[in-house]
Structure 1
Amino acid sequence: MTEFKDQDLAAARFERSSLREAVFHDVDLRGARFDNVNLNGATIRGAALNDVSLDGDIRNLRVWGVDVVPLIDAELNRRHPGREKMRPADADGYREAWELLERLWRETVERARQLPPELLHESVDGEWSFIETQRHLVFATDAWVRRTVLGDPAPWDPLDLPHDEMHDVPPVPRDRAVRPSLDEVLVLRADRMQTVRDVFAELTDERLSEMTVPATEPGYPASQSYQVSECLGCILGEEWEHRTYAERDLAVLRVESGGS
């Protein structure tokens, strides 16, 4: 076991490192940033947690013994009407959720078009730019709908953008340097959204419980069977969350560009 005692590790960077079962005692973590970390099973006691921001896949989070996730979930649903529809129980619910997402994205894209085009390539607080977000959603559809549900083993477009935490998996493309125009990437988005619309149009309650046939070639996700509802639920979640992030960042960019 490595022990750090009375050490100054300020501004240290830990990337793809394991701190599993590590013990932090009397440690100063002010201003620390944790991105894509696995804190499952973590216990935090005697902490000063003022002005802390926490988001991610959060379940069974107990604060002073109370599971606060249902409370937060209800508040988010109140703030963002329609969010509760992103966990449908039947085929009609998936169709309703997708119709809402398409309408919301049309509104978001119109707001994006009001900004100078170069700002759509700008990152806010280290997050994806608006155009990178569109590219990632193309990737998500290719991965979870075209590859997994529809069985295309290699559905990728050169503009697909996987999540940063994913290791390179040939033949999945990953080009962070390319700068397509908004119109160019929206052509891809329109095509992929039509694909999802077609899948939902034919969706049945029975199909949701079926397992997919594993892809025959390497790619993402891994070549194994998935429940159809898991794949389509992933798409709803990706579309909803990334639109929320996009709206947040567009608001910042509007202020920076002199808008209101």
Structure 2
Amino acid sequence: MKEFEGQDLSQADFWGVNLRDSKFRDVDFSGARITHARLVDVTIDAEIDRLVVNGVDVTAFVNASDEWFPLRSMLRPTDEAGIRATWQLLADKWSVAVDRALGLGARGLSESVDGEWSFAETLRHLIFATDKWLFGPLTGAPGFSPIGLPNKGSLDFPWPGIDPSASPSANDVVAAFRDRLEQIGDVLGHLTVSRLPREVEVLENGWVDSIECVHVVFEESFHHLRYALRDLAVLEAA
């Protein structure tokens, strides 16, 4: 199976290409034009801003039917008001999710569904992600939380401060995550976009636009929230 990662294929032409059963993740299809195509059993999970299918603009219908709208469309704000509004929504939803997981006892925090991260592991990953994308590059905070959990492809990177053998209790993880929600809110509450450097260095990723760091934190928080709630629903139904 061929894999294309981190490549710029903008303005490319695909003619007579077989893309059956292909997977597209973290891609930008802005301005894409798809014609003479066959879409059967196709699933799209994306932020939508003007989507036209067979001459019909379905944007309003899709967004009105999406339980995650408008939050899904708020993940890439460019001003302070938008940043704070997005984070407030995310933080509120995560607080509710944590209470929901706690309501299931140990299972809600520590049980995996279909091999995915448990709820506690998801919280540990988000602690890691905010260290990587927010506190390190934008505040200069040294090191990472020892309980942070990198994604599988980054486990071998020498993250300063992370203890690969850490096995914190689920309750300790919840307490750390709740503290982290407050810390993020404090940083974003005092953030001034115009004072950010144009680019900052992010460990493992190199130099990126400063505002992109905020966007990554929002996207990580949003998508892992959806996955966590999906798995909690499975545990609740069991």
- Does the Cα contact within 8 Å between 1:95 and 1:200 map onto a contact in 2? yes
Write the mapping of 1:242-257 to structure 2, written as runs, cut at 5 A: 242-256=224-238
Matched, 1:198 2:182: no
For the residues of structure 1 that align with 2:163 and 2:60, how far apart are their CA atoms? 37
Unaligned runs of 5+ in 1: 1-13
State how many pairs are aligned: 227
Q: CA deviation at 1:45?
A: 5.9
Structure 2 length-normalised TM: 0.73
Matched, 1:116 2:99: no
Quote the residue 2:157 is aligned against. Answer: 169
Matched, 1:97 2:86: yes
Root-mean-square deviation over aligned CA pairs? 3.8
Residue aligned with 2:138, SS: coil
- Does the Cα contact within 8 Å between 2:125 and 2:151 map onto a contact in 1? yes
Q: CA deviation at 1:231?
A: 1.2
Residue aligned with 1:148, SS: helix
C-alpha distance 230-157 of structure 1, shift in aligned 2 (>3 A): same
Q: Which amino acid aligns with 2:198?
A: M
- Does the Cα contact within 8 Å between 1:143 and 1:220 map onto a contact in 2? no
Aligned with 1:226 (options 209, 222, 231): 209
For the residues of structure 2 that align with 1:69 and 1:112, how far apart are their CA atoms? 33
Structure 1 length-normalised TM: 0.67
For the residues of structure 2 that align with 1:145 and 1:80, how far apart are their CA atoms? 24
Percent identity between matched residues is 32
Q: CA deviation at 1:225?
A: 4.7
- Does the Cα contact within 8 Å between 1:146 and 1:155 map onto a contact in 2? no
Q: CA deviation at 1:44?
A: 8.9
Residue aligned with 1:149, SS: helix
- After superposition, the C-alpha distances for 1:180-222 in whole angstroms (9 at most, x for unaligned) are 33211123213322321221221224235x324436xxx3332
For the residues of structure 2 that align with 1:37 and 1:236, how far apart are their CA atoms? 14
Unaligned runs of 5+ in 2: none
Quote the residue 2:198 is aligned against. Answer: 211
Residue aligned with 2:109, SS: helix
Write the mapping of 1:1-260 to structure 2, written as runs, cut at 5 A: 14=1, 17=3, 34=23, 36=25, 47=38, 49-50=40-41, 52-55=42-45, 63-64=53-54, 72-73=62-63, 75-76=65-66, 79-80=67-68, 82-83=70-71, 84-152=73-141, 154-166=142-154, 168-171=156-159, 173=162, 175=164, 179-207=167-195, 210-214=197-201, 219-222=203-206, 224-227=207-210, 229-256=211-238
For the residues of structure 2 that align with 1:129 and 1:100, how far apart are their CA atoms? 23
Which of 1 and 2 has greater Rg?
1
Residue aligned with 1:128, SS: coil
Residue aligned with 2:201, SS: coil
C-alpha distance 44-112 of structure 1, shift in aligned 2 (>3 A): farther
- After superposition, the C-alpha distances for 1:206-248 in whole angstroms (9 at most, x for unaligned) are 235x324436xxx3332x2522x22112212222222122112
Which shifted more, 132-141 or 90-99?
A: 90-99
For the residues of structure 2 that align with 1:174 and 1:44, how far apart are their CA atoms? 50
